[in-house]
Amino acid sequence: MQGAAVTTETTTSTDTDRQQAAAGPLAGYTVVDLSRALAGPHAGMMLADLGARVIKVESPGHGDDTRGWGPPFVGPEDNRQATYFLSCNRNKESIALDLKSADGAEVLAGLIRRADVLVENFRPGVLDRLGFSTARLHELNPRLVILSISGFGHDGPESQRSGYDQILQGEAGLMSLTGSGPEDPQRVGVPIADLLSGMYGAYGVLAALLERERTGRGQVVRTSLLAAMVGVHAFQGTRATVAGEVPRAQGNHHPSIAPYGLFSCQDGKVQISVGSEKLWATFSQAFAIDGTRPEFATNADRVRHRDLLIKEVERAFAGYGSEALLEKLNEAGIPAGRVRTLDEVYAWEQVKSQGLLVDVEHPVLGQVQLPGPPLRFFDAADETETTRTAHQAPPLLDADGGAIRAWLAEEA
């Protein structure tokens, strides 16, 4: 998978501009994105950010459900755009197809013949009923990699349940770990089950494409919102499966490390992460805390006496404003930080320096700024950055339908 040269100009949504902007490790690959809402579209956007040509297939008339998810909506009153849709569809093309019609099925078959990857997140069995079973897909294109994302998994006793992010955050245990305490389960502030299943899916697609280089055949990659949530239980999972404990929410403090969390100071709150005994010795000395007293002697002691420890730390912090406190923590080498609002995050020079904001030209909204992709690429020989920097705004519904049909006709 060879990367292409990076361009830097802001581009529009035209077919020519999209082809010119194609850069990155997946340049030259084609993805047909049949998915809607967030899990599948996020996976498709990740592949598009890596340079793949991603053709989003939408229902005629209303398109992806997220085109109607709001407020907020932006743009002129007669052509409002949902910011939700803008969040997960950059660098894609759009074609509207009625997959139950003969024409829609024919166009989709043509796309599949030319694609490297198909992304879908229908409920298990729906694609089969539309006439595009796995067997048919690989009959049309034996090299096709199929990414299939479901809510609860593609088999098992509950495979037919509808999967929505918050439902899975609860069902898969994440909400039981999140909140101020055991009686206050809270959802994560972003649709984390959707996002992570999309990320796992894209990761699986890349592995399947790599294997295709050896075998010449594509395969089916399956994941689910349930799998994604269980897949990130991390140390909380082994607390349950190995130690036999049932982890529960305990607010903004780490269950296994102390002090590690959010602490009050004179004019607000700061976060600290004292993750080793060496850091604890430095921290306790810097803030005049008796770090050798029996309750605080080891990390295990500090975890057991967390409430007492929090009082001691906040007593030490009470004489500091947040800026002065963060400066002192930094000087002492203690990992620390503030809690930023999103407007503060997007104004932060460090965020800008990492390419995490991109400017795109939207056909209705004009130039807008979107959160950008989280990966950067560099030439290993000379450290020259090869990251794709030209991006396209999420498309209007069927904006590329004519061009895509013409392309299929040329290739037929």
Which residues pair with residue 132 across a beta bridge?
A: none
Percent over 90 (pLDDT), the chain: 92
Residues 167-222: tens digit of each pLDDT: 999 999 999 999 999 999 999 999 999 999 999 999 999 999 999 999 999 999 99
Selecting among 64, 194, 398, 400, the annotated active-site residue is 194
- Is pLDDT at 278 greater than 70 in this prediction? yes
- What tokens were used for 189? 């502030």
pTM of the model: 0.90
Yes or no: say if 334 and 270 are a contact pair by the CB < 8 Å rule: no
In this prediction, residue 23 has a pLDDT band, given cuts at 50, 70 and 90, of confident
Please tell me the least confidently modeled range out of 10-24, 93-107, 279-293.
10-24
CA end-to-end distance (rounded Å), the chain: 26
Is 165 one of the annotated active-site residues of the chain? no
Q: Torsion angle, CA of 226/46/374/201, rounded to 10 degrees?
A: 30
Task: Give the pLDDT of residue 69.
Answer: 96
Mean pLDDT over 42-58 rounds to 97
The secondary structure of residue 393, as a DSSP letter, is P
Q: Domains along the chain?
A: 15-232+349-411 (3.40.50.10540), 275-334 (no CATH)
Residue 143 CB burial class (10 angstroms; 0-12, 13-18, ≥19) = middle
What are the φ/ψ torsions at residue 314 (nearest 5 degrees)?
-70, -30
- Is pLDDT at 157 greater than 70 in this prediction? yes
- Is pLDDT at 4 greater than 60 in this prediction? no
Residues ≥6 apart with Cβ < 8 Å to 311: none
Which residues pair with residue 366 across a beta bridge?
A: 362
CA dist., res. 95 & res. 397, Å (int)? 7
Residue 94 CB burial class (10 angstroms; 0-12, 13-18, ≥19) = buried
- Is pLDDT at 6 greater than 50 in this prediction? no
Yes or no: say if 29 and 74 are a contact pair by the CB < 8 Å rule: no
- Is pLDDT at 310 greater than 90 in this prediction? yes
Residues 312-346: tens digit of each pLDDT: 999 999 999 999 999 999 999 999 999 999 999 99
